[in-house]
Amino acid sequence: MEECLNARSGAELANSIAARAGVKLHECYQCGKCTAGCPMAHAMDLMPRQLVRYMQLGRMEEILGSKSVWLCASCHTCVERCPHSIDIPSLMELSRQAAKARGRVGVKTVDMFSGIFMQNVKMFGKSHEALMEGVYNVTTGRFMQDMENVPHMLKNKMVGIEPHTTNNPEEIKALIERALEMGGEDA
């Protein structure tokens, strides 16, 4: 069954996301240069160009349920190359937040990683790689993931058993508190 374009149920959300990202959606003429340069496109279910197209048509359903918004690495290659400098990473990020707010998580591991990372930062003021890796592996149930790299990384002091801490972890905590007060999402 074809989709009826008159129903633009997500138009309001799409427009508010575009406004917050500082993007004029109508400027995109769908050349696809963004997708062509995207290093994550191979893993995405919705290409960056298609994400903008769905937003133009006021259709957020496909975007909120997509993996792509979770897979975007925010590398900004797309913006750099776009003839209209359309800020796709911001559209991706804001769409991801909107999805999360609706309890929709396209790629669970990405969401978990993000949460563990933020807990780490709250605890130490910096991320503690060894702990983070361990917790991530335990949470995902993939205990041995990346373990073959551990001896090499320990030997070369790329990770350590002891956490690195900042001089003033309280300040970092205060920063995070403030971000949450301002409406940031909690880990």
| Residue ranges in contact with other proteins by CB under 8 A | 2-6, 24, 26-27, 29-30, 49-50, 53-54, 56-57
Our CB check for other proteins shows the closer of 45 and 177 to be 45
The Cα-based distances of 64 to 49, 90, 147 in angstroms read: 15, 14, 34
- HSE-CB for 81 with a 13 A CA cutoff: 14
Rounded to a whole number of angstroms, the minimum distance from the CB of residue 98 to other proteins is 20
Our CB check for other proteins shows the closer of 7 and 150 to be 7
Do residues 60 and 39 touch, judged by C-beta distance below 8 A?
no
Rounded to a whole number of angstroms, the minimum distance from the CB of residue 6 to other proteins is 5
Residue position matching structure tokens 């790329």: 158
Rounded to a whole number of angstroms, the minimum distance from the CB of residue 13 to other proteins is 17
Our CB check for other proteins shows the closer of 30 and 168 to be 30
Our CB check for other proteins shows the closer of 41 and 105 to be 41
Rounded to a whole number of angstroms, the minimum distance from the CB of residue 10 to other proteins is 14
Q: Among candidates 144, 135, 93, 96, which has minimal Cα distance to 116?
A: 135
Distance from C-alpha of 76 to C-alpha of 46, rounded to nearest angstrom: 17
